Amino acid sequence: MGRSLAVTTLIMSALGLAVSWPVGSAMTWLVMGRVSTSAFILCLIVPLLVMPPQVFLYVRLSRRMDATGKALATEKERYRRLLFESMEGVLVHRNLKPLFANPAAARIGGFHSVEELLRIDSIISVVHPADLPAFLSQLPSQLSLTERIGPLRTRLVRPTGDTALIQFFSSSIEWDGEAARQITLIDITEQDRLNRMRDDFIATVSHELRTPLTSIHGALGLARDHASGLPGDLPQLIAIAHDNSERVVRLLNDVLQLERFDSTGLTFDRAPVACAPLLRDAVHQNQGLAGKLGVLVRILPGRAVPDVFGDRDALLQVLGNLLSNATKFSPAGGFVDVAMAPVDGMVRFSVSDQGPGIAPEFRPHVFEKFTQDRATVEGRGGSGLGLSICKRIVEQHGGEICFESQPGQRTVFSFTIPERPLINAPVQPFAATIH
């Protein structure tokens, strides 16, 4: 604002000089008799006619400069507050030497102040020794002037000796006219601790419950097989107890499988797998449920497909889960269609039902653990883990799983598995139903 006032004053002074000089000169010449009275009057009128538009223009320009300066100052203050009040740490370094840091970066690193953080010689000095090899492997990217990396994880050793787990991103930035790197830090120490506590709890409970429940389920199975002579509703009650115990055992098995995925990962026994027999076996295993619900399961005819390369049992589990879901959500007398086709070096398997579809607000959560669409799942059972397991199996085979849903009409789940370049016999149409 002061700068704009100075500019305006300078402009007005120049205008005053531009007007006063010809008027003063004309008056001197008039006294000396060197100009006529009409010429003198003209010297007075012309500056007065020219000056007002110029004054208006310069005042308007001055106001605009003042408004621009205020806007820039407001924007600068806004960014300053965002940077210094953010919960995410921001650190700028050149060749690993810190140049700038916000208070959040100092807090995440365990430093008492930003100044204390900026006094360290290299950010490598705060990386946990066990994570140092992995961090150093990213060093070329860290020193690159163009490459963006992240998200990555590493542990930091704070000055107090405590350890913090962080997730960070790194990108290039210009600082004081020279290239540098900006690191954005997120402290995930507490989140990681809670995740490990949850996983340990689930694993412990699952293992402790699995053995007795398996025994109970087996005993109920034997009782059900010999319950025909029991009086009253006892046979029916034993059958219900057996079904419920089977559901709980299946839930525990799903939890344990997910726990293995998260901790050590699963090792698959990959080999060439013929697709047509795989599909027929999956449908055959689902015939009991399909017959109970009065749903017709059909394998649609299609082009010949090559063998896929994967773990047959795992792929059978994926197909079985998708078929089970499709069967449970289809109405009695409805159809579940299964198909396969070669697509760009992959084989795509698809399972289509005639169910109510998936609500739009639930679609982003379909593959999450322990999630179910309450609007459609009521009375159909399930743990909310099956699709999450399917997604992990498919992705670890190098494929993708997705779905399309039309509310009130149908849902189609499909997944791809890399093919093996061996051609199968043509696929024959097949349908299975039990009434």
Tell me which residue of 197, 194, 198, 167 sits closest to 183, measured CA to CA: 167
Domain definitions of the chain by residue range = 2-85, 89-187, 195-263, 271-432
Give the mean pLDDT of 94-117: 92
Confidence of residue 347 (pLDDT cuts 50, 70, 90): very high
Q: Answer yes or no: is pLDDT of 331 > 50.
A: yes
Q: Are 249 and 210 in contact (CB under 8 A)?
A: yes
The mean per-residue pLDDT over the stretch 165-186 comes to 89
Q: Is residue 246 predicted with pLDDT exceeding 60?
A: yes
Q: Which 8-state DSSP code applies to residue 230?
A: S
β-bridge pairing 410-423 and 430-432:
unpaired
> What pLDDT is attached to residue 31?
47
Cα–Cα distances in Å, from 414 out to 178, 336, 339?
50, 13, 9
Peptide bond preceding 151: is omega within 30 degrees of 0, i.e. cis? yes
Q: Domain 271-432 sits in which CATH superfamily?
A: Histidine kinase-like ATPase, C-terminal domain (3.30.565.10)
More confident residue, 298 or 150: 298
Residue 51 burial by Cβ neighbours in a 10 Å radius (0-12, 13-18, 19+): middle
Is 410:425 a contact under the CB 8 Å cutoff? no
Mean pLDDT throughout 172-188?
A: 89
**Cα angle vertex 166, ends 165, 167, to 5°?**
135
User: What is residue 249's predicted lDDT score, i.e. its pLDDT?
Assistant: 80
Choose from 246-255, 328-337, 372-381, 420-429 the range with maximum mean pLDDT: 328-337
Q: Is the pLDDT of residue 49 over 90?
A: no
Helix (H, G, I), strand (E, B) or coil at 58: helix
| Best-predicted range by mean pLDDT (227-241, 307-321, 369-383) | 307-321
Asked if residue 205 lies in contact with residue 124, where contact means CB atoms within 8 angstroms, the answer is no
Taking the whole predicted model, whether its pTM rises above 0.85 is answered as no
SS3 for 320-372, per residue?
HHHHHHHHHHCCCCCEEEEEEEEECCEEEEEEECCCCCCCHHHHHHCCCCCCC
Task: Identify the CA nearest to 319 among candidates 265, 373, 389.
Answer: 389
Residue 157 and residue 126 in contact, taking contact as beta carbons nearer than 8 Å: yes
With cut-offs at 50, 70 and 90, classify the pLDDT of residue 268: confident
**Predicted confidence band of residue 216 (pLDDT cuts 50, 70, 90):** confident
Task: Summarize the confidence of residues 357-371 as an average pLDDT.
Answer: 83
pLDDT digits (tens, 9 = 90+) for 275-313: 999 999 999 988 888 888 999 999 998 888 899 999 998
Mean pLDDT of 13-33: 52
Beta strands 178-187 and 410-423 are unpaired
Whether residue 396 contacts residue 388, with contact meaning beta carbons closer than 8 Å, is answered with no
Which CATH number does the domain 89-187 belong to among 3.30.70.260, 1.20.1090.10, 3.20.20.70, 3.30.450.20? 3.30.450.20
* Spatial distance between the Cα atoms of 318 and 410, rounded to a whole number of angstroms: 19
pLDDT at 7 over 60: no
Select from 323, 246, 231, 227 the least CA-distant residue to 284. 323
- Mean pLDDT, the chain, rounded, equals 79
If one compares 18 and 156, the residue with the highest pLDDT of the two is 156
